[in-house]
Amino acid sequence: MTSAAVSTLLRDARRIVVKVGSSLVTNEGRGLDEGAIGEWCRQMALLSAQGKEVVMVSSGAIAEGMKRLGWTTRPSEVPALQAAAAVGQMGLAQMYETKLRENGMGSAQVLLTHADLADRERYLNARSTLLTLLQHRVLPVINENDTVVNDEIKFGDNDTLGALVANLVEADLLVILTDQKGLYTADPRKDPAATFVHEARAGDPVLETMAGGAGSSIGKGGMITKILAAKRAAGSGASTVIAWGREPDALLRLCQGDNMGTLLVAQTAKQQARKQWMADHLQLRGSVTVDAGAAHKVLTEGKSLLPIGMTGVAGEFSRGDVIAIRDEQGAEIARGLANYASAEARLLCRKPSHDYEALLGYTAEPEMVHRDNLILSL
């Protein structure tokens, strides 16, 4: 990409996931770095004031817990790691809450496991929660739920978690702040001939051969996990920047188009990636039939599908399943993610949104299928 194209990509990023590692958050395990956390919070608050939507994925709970417990070596036993996370999470959340409040921002703690994002219903619930927080100018601070994970459901590192969150909220940009300036052709601490990589294609196999192992005894990740995270984030159309976390005003400068660190460019546009996923989703769980008015709004006006326009429901499906939207003649006009299960959808047919709570006992979303989760059929 040209330098102008790079600057445009960075400036145009509206929804950004920022991931910071344990060594930065805890100053190499010496305890939560109040100054560094405060600086990131200041920058994120300024970005929010500029109309950006920012989600923070922060490591550091286990490292902070180790310090509070007096441990100098990261344990390998899962119960000990869970205990450290439980102790450290208290201080980590309190620090972000304090520093964000000082900068006029609300904060929310969100703990996730792999199972939360592997299950479509829980995936949609997590997504709805995060997007609602962003609408209310509350900055979500996300961490892996280390107090309950085991080997089967651990993300394994928060670089992967950052990428999964970028997929979850359909971010434009994933920023991984680390203790390195970015990616080199080899480990610069071992190879003086290593050269800096300013830009590359996310997912390029060559990048994986450049990356080494874990960088410290405090965190679990390394450059290889960041390369793989960028590859995963690119699947939903998000590009990734790997940059030094202590660079002055790093987040602000990046969002002003300053090409620092290593930019790993996604080859697929965000909307195209999401629509391709749904188009290729062969396991349709069911369908809804809509009247002519609803079909027109979906097809020609780019509107969401509301239950009031539905005339029938076929099949058995759950919230988060991919369903077909059919016109009165039975032809598929679109498909998308269901916000309500089939049993609930049958109750909502022809009903306005103000009736949902009386019929179901609760209200999730006003739409049966939101336009962001809908693609037109060919």
| H helix or E strand, kind and range, residue 88 | helix 78-102
- Percent pLDDT > 90 in the chain is 59
The sign of the CA dihedral 78, 79, 80, 86 is positive
> Burial of 240 by CB count in 10 Å (0-12 exposed, 13-18 middle, 19+ buried)?
buried
For residue 220, pLDDT beyond 50:
no
Residue 219 main-chain phi, psi, to 5 deg: -95, 175
Question: Pick the residue with more confidence: 340 or 119?
Answer: 340
In the chain, the domains with their CATH numbers are 3-270 (3.40.1160.10), 281-376 (2.30.130.10)
β-strand partners of 106: 138
Q: Among 21-30, 149-158, 300-309, which is the least confidently predicted range?
A: 149-158
pTM > 0.75: yes
Looking at residues 324-345, what average pLDDT do you find? 95
Question: Would you give the DSSP letter of residue 305?
Answer: B
Sign, Cα dihedral of 267, 240, 212, 74: negative
Express each pLDDT in 282-312 by its tens digit: 578 899 999 999 999 999 999 999 999 999 9
Per the prediction, the chain carries an average pLDDT of: 88
Which residue in the block uniquely carries the two structure tokens 């930019």?
263
Could you give the C-alpha distances from 180 to 73, 162, 246, 247, in angstroms and in order? 22, 17, 9, 10
| Nearest-angstrom CA–CA distance, 251 and 243 | 9
Predicted confidence band of residue 359 (pLDDT cuts 50, 70, 90): very high
pLDDT of residue 216: 44
3-state secondary structure of 50: coil
Indicate if the pLDDT at residue 271 is higher than 70: no
Q: What's the whole-number mean pLDDT along residues 317-322? A: 90
Residue 245 pLDDT exceeds 60: yes
Joined tokens for residue 44: 């994120």
What confidence score (pLDDT) does residue 218 get? 39
Among 143-152, 159-168, 187-196, the range with the most confident prediction by mean pLDDT is 159-168
Q: Measured on CA atoms in the order 24, 167, 125, 318, is the torsion positive or negative?
A: negative
